Amino acid sequence: MDNFSFHNPTRLHFGRGQAAQITQEIPVGARVLLTYGGGSIRKNGAYDQVMAALTGRHVVEFGGIEPNPEYETLLRAVALGRSEQVDWVLAVGGGSVFDGSKFIAAAIVLDPAIDPWQIIGNRTPLASALPLGGVLTLPATGSESNFAAVVTRRATQDKLSFKNPLVFPRFSVLDPAMTMTLPPRQIGNGVVDAFVHTVEQYLTVPNEARVQDRLAEGILQTLLEIGPRTLAQPDDYEARANMMWAANQALFGLVALGQVQDWATHAIGHELTALYGLDHAQTLAVTLPWLLTYRKTDKLAKLAQYGRRLWQLPGDDAAVAAVAIDRTIAFFETMGVPTRLSAYGIDALAAAEAVAGQLRRHGRNRLGEGGRLTPEDCAAIVRMAL
CATH number of 11-178: 3.40.50.1970
The pLDDT of residue 163 is above 90:
yes
pLDDT tens profile 244-286 = 999 999 999 999 999 999 999 999 999 999 999 999 999 999 9
Question: CB–CB of 188/281 below 8 Å?
Answer: yes
| 3-state class (DSSP) for residue 42 | helix
- Where are the domains positioned within the chain? 11-178, 183-384
Number of H helices, E strands in the chain: 14, 8
Residue 123: its pLDDT value, please? 94
- For residue 29, pLDDT over 90 is answered with yes
CA proximity to 159, closest of 150, 167, 168: 150
pLDDT of residue 44: 87
Tell me what the mean pLDDT of segment 342-347 comes to.
98
Read off the pTM: 0.95
Contact 76, 70 (CB under 8 A): no
Q: What pLDDT is stored for residue 109 in this prediction?
A: 98
CATH 1.20.1090.10 given to domain 183-384: yes
Mean pLDDT of the chain: 97
Question: Does 39 have pLDDT greater than 90?
Answer: no
Quick: pLDDT tens for 52-88. 999 999 999 999 999 999 999 999 999 999 999 999 9
Region 136-162: what's the mean pLDDT? 95
Predicted confidence (pLDDT) per residue in 178-204, tens digit: 999 999 999 999 999 999 999 999 999
The predicted-structure confidence for 215-233, as pLDDT tens digits, reads as follows 999 999 999 999 999 999 9
pLDDT at 43: 85
Q: In three state form, how does the secondary structure of 299-319 look?
A: CHHHHHHHHHHHHCCCCCHHH
Share of the chain above pLDDT 90, in %: 98
